[in-house]
Amino acid sequence: MQIIKTIEEVRNFQLCTGCGVCAALERERYAMEDVPEEGIRPRVKEGAPAASGAAFHACPGARLEHDFDKDDRALNAELGSAWGPVYEVLEGHASDGEIRFAGSSGGAASALALYCLEQRQMRGVLHTSVDPEQPYRNRTVFSRDRAALLAATGSRYAPSSPCTELQQIIDAKGECVFIGKPCDAAAVNAARKQSPQLDENLGLSIAFFCAGVPSTSASLQLAAMQGADSPESIRALRYRGNGWPGVWSLDYMVPADEIATGGEPRRRTLSYAESWSFLQRHRQWRCYICPDHTGEFADIAVGDPWYREIIPGEPGSSLIVARTPRGQQILDGAIAAGYLTVTKREASLLPRSQPNLLAARGSLWARLHTLRLFGAAVPRFSGFTLFPFWWRELNFVDKARSIFGTVKRIYRKRLRHPVTGASR
């Protein structure tokens, strides 16, 4: 088994999540860049100082370690082994109709962030938005009001590295909100243990459920399949939102030499299911061996309540999970202040909304052991229950597939060897 000891090895053995925490904690050494076939990745700056170790110890590509108090009687004991810390599960939505419509699933994350800005006097929200110059890419923004939050609503199924800008939270004159993927929330949780000022200023962390991060090239390929023959022709690209679950929508320009009257704008749309069916085939390798798809390291996690059929035209709804006492307190405050409307409180909503994740957690046990056996690199996961789900949730065929499918990927993706670009 490969023993990973540096950020460079995390990146070269395809374990990087692209969160950007390395560039935040060791700013003189690392910068982030988008590698279209892989994702956002760190590079060592020219003339950079030696690594201090701070970045590596916060890197979710290298390790994820649960340290919550499992004896806390307020936690849901039945859900803990499969779903991490859970204080409460509810279904609801943003009370603000515009935020609810624009959000991917009921706008709960934006509503919580807005409550923190307006009622708890937090200084800003660090999160991901579309890059206006290259709409197929993301950028990290620090929003201070409702208009800025609204402009950044909707899921972005493309690489993002919100942890890169953690300095904005550190420099803020008060508490702030962080919103990101589960791996981003885990990185922030680890980074706050090294930075007293980050710990003091991080008023709330929100994670959204995540099934993996497709590459930039995946978005460009899908856009090309729908008519956008070059990245420069793309004027807007939205993955979800503006309805539930929303549609993938592409605005692009047809070149002037193809239209007698000059360039012409076009729009193409795909259903959420159609677009994700393509994009998910281009997820980074680290997502295939991730134990946390539901934001277990955040204060609050939000996702879709897939436990029921969505009626066409139905307004958005959110599954909301309080994962820390701080998260529970802020969730209760947002509800009391009218920022969130609750439609159901029931712990079983979480497993019912993500029925495949128990089998995925079981498959992970076999994948990790197979990778170790064949000498490939694996992250260190501590505090996660895996084997019982492999034993209980998978039938014989799926058990075999979890092993032999991993062997095929080891050779196809060259997982035993350091690479400068991830192979498909």
Query: What rounded mean pLDDT belongs to the chain?
Result: 94
In the chain, pLDDT over 70 holds for what percent of residues?
97
Neighbours of 350 (CB within 10 A): 25
Read off the pLDDT of residues 202-218 as tens digits, 9 standing for 90 and up: 999 999 999 999 999 99
Is the pLDDT at 62 greater than 60, yes or no?
yes
**For the ranges 263-277, 343-357, 399-413, which has the lowest average pLDDT?**
263-277
Q: What is the pLDDT of residue 421?
A: 47
The token duo for 58 is 């916060």
Q: What is the pLDDT of residue 424?
A: 36
Read off the pLDDT of residues 104-160 as tens digits, 9 standing for 90 and up: 899 999 999 999 999 999 999 999 999 999 999 999 999 999 999 999 998 899 999
Cα–Cα distance between 166 and 168 in angstroms, integer? 5
Whole-angstrom CA distances from 70 to 79, 80, 205, 383, 388 are 11, 8, 20, 10, 18
CATH code that applies to domain 80-214+282-353: 3.40.640
pTM greater than 0.75 (yes/no) = yes
HSE (CB half, 13 Å, CA atoms) of 331?
Answer: 29
In the beta sheet, which residues pair with residue 39? Answer: 35
Q: What is the pLDDT of residue 165?
A: 98
Is the pLDDT at 258 greater than 80, yes or no?
no
Our CA dihedral for 379, 382, 384, 388, rounded to 10 degrees, sits at 90
**Domain range list for the chain:** 80-214+282-353, 216-281
pLDDT classification of 375: cutoffs 50, 70, 90 = very high
pLDDT classification of 362: cutoffs 50, 70, 90 = very high
Q: Which amino acid is at 202?
A: L
| Contact of 219 with 237, CB cutoff 8 Å | yes
In the chain, pLDDT over 90 holds for what percent of residues?
90
SS (H, E, C) the chain: CCCCCCHHHHHHCCCCCCCCHHHHHCCCCEEEEEECCCEEEEEECCCCCCCCCHHHHHCCCCEEECCCCCCCCCCCCCCHHHHCCCCEEEEEEECCHHHHHHCCCCCHHHHHHHHHHHCCCCCCEEEEEECCCCCCCEEEEEECCHHHHHHCCCCCCCCCCHHHHHHHHHHCCCCEEEEECHHHHHHHHHHCCCCHHHHHHEEEEEEECCCCCECHHHHHHHHHHCCCCCHHHEEEEECCECCCCEEEEEEEEECHHHCCCCCEEEEEEEEHHHHHHHHHHHECHHHHCCCCCCCCCCCEEEECCCCCCCCCCCCCCEEEEECCHHHHHHHHHHHHCCCEEEEEECCCHHHHHCCCHHHHHHHHHHHHHHHHHCCCCCCEEECCCCHHHHHHHCCHHHHHHHHHHHHHHHHHCCCCCCCCCCCC
pLDDT classification of 58: cutoffs 50, 70, 90 = very high
Read off the pLDDT of residues 267-297 as tens digits, 9 standing for 90 and up: 999 999 999 999 999 999 999 999 999 999 9
Q: Report the pLDDT averaged over residues 218-229.
A: 95
Q: Report the pLDDT averaged over residues 230-237.
A: 94
Closest-CA residue to 159 (of 300, 303, 44, 287): 287
Q: What is the pLDDT of residue 1?
A: 65
Is the Cα torsion angle 215, 221, 223, 226 positive or negative in sign?
A: negative
Q: What is the pLDDT of residue 422?
A: 43
Q: What is the pLDDT of residue 41?
A: 97
Q: Report the pLDDT averaged over residues 357-383.
A: 96
Read off the pLDDT of residues 92-102 as tens digits, 9 standing for 90 and up: 999 999 999 99
| Contact of 206 with 109, CB cutoff 8 Å | yes
